[in-house]
């Protein structure tokens, strides 16, 4: 189960069914899962926590670049700042996507979503 969830996170899939795509376009999320129909944004401001996850991802992405600079050309402080800024700006689409999806998966583990009820067939 953990491997399935990790794979779903890497493929930016739904936190509930692990099948549906979370994003429809590069900057646009689906409002609901195209497979199971759960609502992604549970409440207003739901994705605020993903901003903090994005900070951590930015640091994780920038750190190898800074370490590589330290062991190679050893720039001054301005060089490190520019390298970190450039790396994070280039990685912004990745950070944006993964921060939200990681947050949705953490939230799903803490409090599982309930898919919308299927309308019962009308009785004739
Ligand atoms: Zn789903």
The half-sphere exposure of 86 on its side-chain side, counting CA atoms within 13 A, is: 8
pLDDT of 89 reads 96
Residue linked to tokens 């994780």: 60
Three-class DSSP category at 24:
strand
Distance 57 CA to ligand 1 centre (A): 24
Could you tell me the pLDDT band of residue 64, with boundaries at 50, 70 and 90?
A: very high
pLDDT of 83 reads 96
Distance 21 CA to ligand 1 centre (A): 8
Per the prediction, the chain carries an average pLDDT of 92
Burial class (CB in 10 A: 0-12, 13-18, 19+), 93: exposed
Distance 93 CA to ligand 1 centre (A): 22
Residue 22 tokens, joined: 């979370």
Percent of the chain with pLDDT over 70: 94
Let me know the angle formed at the C-alpha of 96 by 111 and 42, rounded to the nearest 5 degrees.
Answer: 30
Q: Can you name the residues that pair with 21 across neighbouring β-strands?
A: 13
For 67-94, what is the mean pLDDT? Answer: 95
- Protein residues within 5 Å, CB atom, of ion ligand 1: 14, 16-17, 20, 33, 35-36
pLDDT digits (tens, 9 = 90+) for 28-60: 999 999 999 999 999 999 999 999 999 999 999
pLDDT of 122 reads 66
For 77-87, what is the mean pLDDT? Answer: 96
Comparing CA positions, the residue from 25, 29, 58 lying closest to residue 46 is 29
For 112-118, what is the mean pLDDT? Answer: 77
């Amino acid at each position: 189960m953990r491997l399935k969830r990790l794979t779903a996170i890497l493929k930016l899939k739904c936190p509930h069914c692990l099948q549906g795509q979370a994003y429809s376009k590069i900057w646009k999320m689906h409002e609901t899962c195209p497979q199971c129909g759960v609502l992604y944004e549970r409440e207003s401001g739901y994705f605020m926590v993903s901003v903090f996850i994005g900070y951590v991802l930015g640091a994780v992405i920038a750190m190898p670049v800074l370490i590589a600079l330290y062991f190679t050309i050893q720039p001054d402080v301005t060089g490190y700042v520019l390298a970190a800024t450039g790396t994070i700006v280039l990685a912004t689409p990745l950070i944006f996507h993964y921060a939200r999806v990681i947050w949705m998966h953490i939230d799903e583990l803490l409090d599982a979503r309930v898919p919308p009820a299927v309308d019962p067939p009308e009785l004739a």
